[in-house]
Amino acid sequence: MKPTKASPNNNFSFQRTVAFLGIVLFVAKLIAWHLTNSDAVFSDALESIVNIIAAFMGLYSLYLAAKPVDHDHPYGHGKVEFVTSGVEGALIIFAGVMIIVQAFDSLLHGNTLEKLDAGIYIIAATAVVNYLIGYYSIKRGIKENSLVLQSSGKHLQSDTLTTGGVVVSLILVYLTGITWIDSLVALVFGGYIMWVGYKIIRKALIGIMDEADLEMISRLASNLQTVREKQWVDLHNVRIQQHGSKLHLDAHLTLPYYLSLREAHEEMETVIKTIAARTEREIEFNFHMDDCKPFSCKICALDTCPVREFDFEKQIEWTRKTITQRDKHTIET
């Protein structure tokens, strides 16, 4: 499968739609809160403020991420997606704290609820719209490898769950008349919202700190091991960085030292094309070609080598562990 490129302009337009709909839903929830005076509805409305801020931050990050490489940003601007996602997570946690504070206050001092039937209809409608937007945002984010769209979609779907819980709590209060149910539900969803915020921050930090994607490296090692040529003596010091929807891959490939520069380059190009054909993401490659050393003979399976100094003993299998080793492999490793 050939790698596909993200569509920055389309992503920007989609995120702009998400931001606009966020404002519409926020107004609807404010109306529902004004009608019902419900803590649970307040928690839902407060999270919608975060949705709006996050949506516009997402717009800005997509704008920056789409900018081409320049002198000051040789790897592009894609890292900004991790920063905005982290801020979004922090805002979500803040909203959760505010919800919990309000719910505790109502539990201690009481709260009068009104017009619950109208509130139920309004909040239920916003839940349906939120879920649909979140669903399409996640699908598009996965397709385009956009962390912003994926984070936005997951946030909207988590908002749908909390909104659904709000609807259930309003129905229970409407049927039973037990008003403290409303505040209790707000407490529960305040804690849940904080957990969602933590997970978004955690994922953003992984990207900012270039934490290794072990699953991605494992797939890379497995794919290359399957099509490995005998003259590809060794592969080591493999590192992958994520820059928005793009990847940057560094690696050291050991080849027979007697190959001409052109022959060695052709082998390197074959490895690169093999990797590119097995990923859907755009990749920038930085391969370093190493010449084999006498100790490489013991792990070199090239039976036609004219300059072998030691007998072949065994080939080092390319796995997640072996290809990320910094130094060339020897028979001891």
Domains of the chain: 8-208 (1.20.1510.10), 214-323 (3.30.70.1350)
For the entire predicted model, the pTM comes to 0.55
Q: DSSP for 163-222, please give it.
A: HHHHHHHHHHHHHH--THHHHHHHHHHHHHHHHHHHHHHHHHHHHHTT---HHHHHHHHH
pLDDT in tens, 235-272: 999 988 776 567 778 899 999 999 999 999 999 999 99
pLDDT in tens, 73-106: 555 555 666 777 777 788 778 878 887 887 787 7
Element (H, E) at 94: helix 80-109
Residue keyed to tokens 């839940």: 127
CA distance 29 to 50: 13
